[in-house]
C-alpha cells in the first residue's frame, strides 16, 4: 500500500492553511489563520518541527499529534474523531494515507518530491485506510477564495460484517491565544442570543437533539483572543452545516491542545454500515478573521459566490399570517393584495390554512389539496389577481408534519414517526411525517408537485413547527432523524429540479432551522416569529454572523407586536427591517392613509438602495454604551455605505458624543447625511452638522396629532464631507432620539 509523505499549503482571501501528511499519517493542520506568505519546503518543515510538543510527565512517550480526525491510538485523550465498533472490535482504527488529490486530480510521487504541494484556493482530498479494521476514510479539505475553510469525511466499511457507527466529528486546532469562547443560544421568539465564557480545560459541548437546527443552536462557535469584538481581535469560528441533530464543541486538554470541532449527532443504533456501505459527514466550516465581522464576511462571500445564490434584487414581500391567521376569506385577501401592491409590494404570500380541513392548527396538516369549502374555485381567483397586480405569488407548506386528525394520518398511521407502538408527545397538535419511508416521500412529493403544477407559484414558505421527539421508524422504532434530514434535502432538490425558478424560505417555528445545510437549497431564512423591532435589532445583528442580509426575512411589523405587545412607530419598525430581505407582516387594510404613504416611502427607499443593503459588506460597531446598537453595510468598492444607530434604551448621559463610522476607504472623502424618510424618529434633536429644518407644511399636523415632525434639508445638500479615516477615528456627533428609535445615515463618496 503506497503511503503519502507530503505537506500542503493553501492560501486564499488572507487566510493560510498548512497541512502535514508526512509518514502516511492523517492530515494534521499545522496552521489555520492569517496568511503566512510564500513558504518553501524548509519553511514548512521548520513550522512542523516548531509545533512538536515536548513529552510531559504522566503522558505517552511520543508527542501527541492531533489530526483533522483526532485518533485515540496517538495518545489523544480528548474526543476521538471516530467512535464505533463491530460488536466491540475495531473501535480504535489506525489509518494510513493512500492517496492525495487536488481539485480531483491525483498527485503522484514526482509532484511531492520536495515534500511540499503549494496551492491557492483549492480542494484537497486525502484517502486513507486501515485494512485490519476493515475501514476506509476519505477526507476533503477545501479553502474557498473567500478564505472560508470547510472539511468533510466519508467512512466506508470494507469488512465482511456490519460496523456500528456512533460518532464521526472533525476538529480544527486553535492557538493558545484563543482563550475566550463565544457562541449563540436563544429560544422561540428570541433566537441567536450571544453568550461568552473563558476557554477553560475540559469540553464546552453544544448538542442539538431537536431533529432540526434549533432556536437555541450554537450557530457559530468562536474562540478568540481575550476581549475580541466585531472589529478587532483574532477569532476562529466553526459551524456544522447540518439541519438535523448536530454537535459543536470546544475542547482544551491538560497538555495544552485546543480544538474546535463538530459534526452530526447520531442517535443510538441510528447508523450501522453494512459491507460496502458509506457514511458522509456534513461540512464543518471554519472561518478565521480579525474580529467577528471578518469571520462573518467570509461566510457571506462564500455564499454569494455560489451560482444559485439569490441576487440583491430581492422582491418586497407581504406575508398574510398576522393579518388574517386562519381566516381565508377571498375578498379580505384580495383587499390586502390591492393595498400591498399600491405601496410597492412585489410578492404576496398566502400562509397556513388553505388546504384540507385546516381551519385551525388541530387538523388537516398533511392533506395537501386546496380546501373546496374555503376555496370553491381553488386558489385561482387569488393567484390571478395577485399576478394581475404585478406581484409574485407564494404559498405556505409544512411538508414534514402531520395532524393525527387528517386523512393522511388515518390512511397511513405507520408513516408517523414513533419509537415503536406508542405515539410521541404532541407539539402544536402535530406529529412528524416519516419522509425516510419511500412511499411516504413519494406521496408528499407528488402532492406538492400537483399544487406547483396547477398554480403559478414563485415561492414556498417551508415551515417546520416542532422538534423531532422519539423520531423512529415503525414498526421497530429505529431512530430516523438522519434519514429524515436527508429526505428533506432531497424533497427540496426535487421540487426545485421540477420548477427551476422556485424560491424556498426555511421557516421553522421562526428561526429554528438556520444553517448552511438548508441554505444550500433555500433562498432565505425566517429569522424569528417575533418581528417586534426591539427584539429583531439583536436577532438580525447576530443572525448575520452566519447569514448575509439578503437571505434573512426581515418584515415590518404591525404597530403593536403580536408576540410581545409592544408598540412602536413606523420609523423604528421600517428602519430595522430594511437591513434584510424586506417584507411586511401587518394588516394593511386597517392602516391609515398617512401610514400607508409613509410605508410607501420606506419601500421606495429600500428599492433604491437594496443592492447596497443586501450586497454590501457587514459592519457592526463596537460601542461601550450597551444602550446603542450600531451597524452598517458598506459597498464592496467602498463608494457608499448606510449606517444604523438604534437607541435601545435611554443613555446615562444627555448625549453619547461622537459616533464612529468605520469600514470606508480612509483616503476617500464622503458626504454623510441623515436618511430623511417619512416621519423623523421620536424625540429627535438634529445636530447642526445635519443641515436640516422642520418641514413647515406638516407643522400644524404635527402639533395636532403629536406625531414626530418631518425634516428636510435646509440647503442644497444636508450633512458634512469628511475622509473615511476621520469618520472612522473621530466620527460625528450623535442626534439623540427616544428609546426604540433608529437614525440612519447615508455616506457617499464625493471623490
Annotated catalytic residues are 463, 529
Q: What angle do CA 626, 631, 636 make, to 5 degrees?
A: 160
CA atoms within 13 A on the CB side of 374: 21
Cell of 678: 417619512
Q: To which H or E segment does residue 10 belong?
A: strand 6-12
Query: Which residue in this structure is represented by grid cell 393595498?
Result: 339
- CB count, 10 Å around CB of 704? 8
- Of 474, 522, 320, 487, the closest CA to residue 399 belongs to 487
- Of 256, 287, 261, the closest CA to residue 51 belongs to 256
Distance of CA 680 to the CA centre of its chain: 33
Farthest-apart Cα atoms in the chain, separation? 88
Distances (CA, A) of 27 to 96, 257, 462, 665, 715: 10, 16, 39, 40, 64
Give dist(CA 674, CA 713) in Å, integer: 9
Cell of 332: 379580505
Pairing of the two strands 271-273 and 135-143: unpaired
* 669 contact partners, CB below 8 Å, separation of at least 6: 721, 722, 723, 724, 749, 750, 751
Pairing of the two strands 732-733 and 658-659: antiparallel
Pairing of the two strands 459-462 and 431-432: unpaired
Give dist(CA 229, CA 42) in Å, integer: 36
Give dist(CA 254, CA 64) in Å, integer: 12
Query: Which residue in this structure is represented by grid cell 420606506?
Result: 602
Cell of 701: 399636523
**3-state helix/strand/coil string of 342-379:** HCCCCEEEECCCCECCCCCCCCCCCCCCECCCCCCCCC
2: left (phi over 0), alpha (psi -120 to 50) or beta: beta
Give dist(CA 177, CA 375) in Å, integer: 63
Dihedral sign (CA 541, 543, 544, 546): positive
- The strand pairing partners of 163, in sequence order, are 273
**Residues 261, 79: contact at Cβ < 8 Å?**
yes
Pairing of the two strands 347-350 and 317-319: parallel
Give dist(CA 353, CA 345) in Å, integer: 22
- CB count, 10 Å around CB of 101? 15
Amino acid at each position: 500500500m503506497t503511503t503519502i509523505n507530503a505537506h500542503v499549503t493553501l492560501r486564499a482571501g488572507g487566510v493560510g492553511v498548512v497541512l502535514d501528511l508526512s509518514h502516511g499519517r492523517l492530515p494534521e493542520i499545522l496552521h489555520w489563520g492569517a496568511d503566512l506568505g510564500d513558504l518553501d519546503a524548509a519553511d514548512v518543515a521548520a513550522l512542523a518541527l516548531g509545533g512538536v510538543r515536548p513529552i510531559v510527565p504522566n503522558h505517552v512517550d511520543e508527542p501527541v499529534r492531533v489530526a483533522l480526525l483526532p485518533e485515540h491510538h496517538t495518545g489523544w485523550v480528548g474526543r476521538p474523531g471516530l467512535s464505533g465498533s463491530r460488536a466491540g472490535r475495531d473501535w480504535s482504527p489506525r489509518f494510513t494515507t493512500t492517496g492525495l488529490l487536488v481539485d480531483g486530480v491525483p498527485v503522484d510521487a514526482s509532484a511531492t518530491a520536495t515534500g511540499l504541494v503549494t496551492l491557492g484556493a483549492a480542494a484537497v482530498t486525502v484517502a486513507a485506510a486501515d485494512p485490519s479494521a476493515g475501514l476506509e476514510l476519505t477526507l476533503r479539505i477545501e479553502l474557498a477564495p473567500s478564505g472560508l475553510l470547510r472539511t468533510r469525511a466519508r467512512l466506508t466499511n470494507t469488512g465482511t460484517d456490519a460496523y456500528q457507527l456512533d460518532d464521526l466529528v472533525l476538529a480544527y486546532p486553535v492557538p493558545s491565544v484563543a482563550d475566550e469562547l463565544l457562541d449563540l443560544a436563544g429560544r422561540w421568539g428570541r433566537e441567536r442570543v450571544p453568550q461568552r465564557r473563558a476557554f477553560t480545560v475540559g469540553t464546552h459541548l453544544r448538542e442539538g437533539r431537536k431533529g432540526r437546527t434549533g432556536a437555541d443552536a450554537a450557530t457559530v462557535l468562536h474562540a478568540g483572543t481575550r476581549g475580541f469584538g466585531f472589529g478587532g481581535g483574532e477569532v476562529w469560528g466553526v459551524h456544522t452545516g447540518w439541519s438535523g441533530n448536530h454537535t459543536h464543541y470546544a475542547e482544551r486538554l491538560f497538555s495544552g491542545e485546543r480544538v474546535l470541532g463538530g459534526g452530526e449527532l447520531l442517535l443510538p443504533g441510528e447508523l450501522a454500515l453494512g459491507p460496502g456501505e458509506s457514511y458522509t459527514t456534513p461540512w464543518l466550516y471554519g472561518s478565521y478573521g480579525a474580529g467577528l465581522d471578518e469571520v462573518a464576511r467570509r461566510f457571506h462571500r462564500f455564499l454569494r459566490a455560489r451560482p444559485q445564490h439569490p441576487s440583491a434584487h430581492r422582491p418586497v414581500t407581504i406575508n398574510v399570517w398576522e393579518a388574517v391567521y386562519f381566516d381565508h376569506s377571498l375578498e379580505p385577501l384580495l383587499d390586502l393584495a390591492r393595498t400591498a401592491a399600491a405601496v410597492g409590494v412585489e410578492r404576496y404570500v398566502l400562509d397556513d390554512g388553505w388546504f384540507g380541513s385546516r381551519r385551525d392548527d388541530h387538523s388537516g396538516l398533511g392533506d395537501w389539496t386546496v380546501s373546496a369549502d374555503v376555496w370553491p374555485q381553488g386558489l385561482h381567483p387569488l393567484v390571478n389577481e395577485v399576478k394581475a397586480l404585478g406581484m409574485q405569488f407564494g404559498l405556505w407548506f409544512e411538508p414534514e408534519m402531520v395532524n393525527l386528525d387528517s386523512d393522511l394520518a388515518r390512511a397511513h398511521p405507520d408513516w408517523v414517526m414513533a419509537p415503536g407502538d406508542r405515539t410521541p408527545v404532541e407539539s402544536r397538535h402535530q406529529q412528524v411525517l416519516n419522509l425516510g419511508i419511500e412511499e411516504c416521500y413519494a406521496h408528499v412529493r407528488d402532492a406538492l408537485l400537483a399544487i406547483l403544477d396547477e398554480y403559478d407559484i414563485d415561492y414556498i414558505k417551508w415551515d417546520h413547527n416542532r422538534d423531532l421527539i422519539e423520531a423512529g421508524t415503525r414498526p421497530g422504532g429505529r431512530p430516523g432523524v438522519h434519514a429524515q434530514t436527508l429526505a428533506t434535502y432531497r424533497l427540496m432538490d426535487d421540487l426545485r429540479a421540477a420548477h427551476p425558478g422556485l424560491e424556498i424560505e426555511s421557516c421553522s417555528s421562526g428561526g429554528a432551522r438556520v444553517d448552511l445545510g438548508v441554505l444550500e437549497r433555500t433562498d432565505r431564512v425566517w429569522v424569528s416569529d417575533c418581528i417586534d423591532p426591539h427584539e429583531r435589532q439583536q436577532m438580525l445583528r447576530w443572525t448575520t454572523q452566519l447569514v448575509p442580509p439578503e437571505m434573512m426575512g426581515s418584515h415590518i411589523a404591525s404597530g403593536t407586536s403580536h408576540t410581545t405587545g409592544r408598540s412602536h412607530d413606523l420609523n423604528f419598525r421600517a428602519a430595522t427591517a430594511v437591513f434584510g430581505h424586506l417584507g411586511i407582516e401587518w394588516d394593511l387594510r386597517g392602516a391609515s392613509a398617512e401610514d400607508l404613504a409613509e410605508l410607501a416611502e420606506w419601500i421606495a427607499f429600500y428599492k433604491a438602495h437594496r443592492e447596497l443593503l443586501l450586497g454590501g459588506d457587514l459592519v457592526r460597531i463596537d460601542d461601550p454604551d450597551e444602550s446603542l446598537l450600531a451597524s452598517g453595510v458598506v459597498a464592496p468598492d467602498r463608494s457608499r455605505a448606510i449606517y444604523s444607530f438604534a437607541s435601545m434604551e435611554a443613555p446615562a448621559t444627555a448625549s453619547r458624543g461622537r459616533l464612529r463610522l468605520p469600514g470606508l476607504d480612509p483616503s476617500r472623502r464622503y458626504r454623510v447625511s441623515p436618511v430623511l424618510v417619512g416621519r423623523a424618529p421620536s424625540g429627535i434633536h438634529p445636530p447642526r452638522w445635519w443641515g436640516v429644518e422642520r418641514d413647515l407644511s406638516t407643522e400644524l399636523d404635527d402639533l395636532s396629532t403629536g406625531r414626530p415632525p418631518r425634516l428636510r434639508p435646509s440647503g442644497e445638500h444636508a450633512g458634512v464631507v469628511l475622509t473615511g479615516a476621520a469618520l472612522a477615528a473621530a466620527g460625528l456627533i450623535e442626534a439623540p432620539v427616544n428609546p426604540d428609535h433608529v437614525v440612519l445615515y447615508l455616506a457617499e463618496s464625493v471623490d
